[in-house]
Amino acid sequence: MKTVYNAAHAAHAATHEIFRGRLVPAFEIPARADYILQAVQGAGLGEVLAPVDHGRAPLERVHTPRYLRFVEGAHAEWQAAGGEGDAFPAVWPVRTLRSDVEPESFAGRMGLYSMDSGTPLTAGSWAAAYAGAQASLTALDLVLAGQRSAYCLTRPPGHHAGADFFGGYCFINNAAVAAQAARDAGLARVAILDVDYHHGNGTQAIFYDRADVFFASVHGDPRTEYPFFLGHADETGSGAGAGFNANFPLPPGVANEDWFAALEQALTRLAAYRPELLIVSLGVDTYGGDPISHFKFDQPEFRALGRRLAAFGAPTLFLQEGGYATEAIGHNVVAVLQGFEAA
**Which whole-number Å values give the CA distances from 282 to 108, 144, 185, 219, 254, in the listed order?**
33, 19, 23, 12, 19
**Which whole-number Å values give the CA distances from 290 to 141, 311, 315, in the listed order?**
32, 27, 29
Would you call 9 a catalytic residue per the annotation? no
The distance from CA 216 to its chain's CA centroid, rounded to whole angstroms, is 13
Are 111 and 70 contacting, i.e. CB atoms less than 8 angstroms apart? no
Report the C-alpha gap between 119 and 31 in whole angstroms: 17
Catalytic residue, candidates 160, 198, 219, 331: 160
Are 253 and 296 contacting, i.e. CB atoms less than 8 angstroms apart? yes
DSSP secondary structure, 33-87, as one string: HHHHHHHHHHHT-S-EEPPPP--SHHHHTTS-HHHHHHHHHHHHHHHHTT--SSB
Q: Fill in the amino acid letter for 122.
A: T
Catalytic residue positions? 160
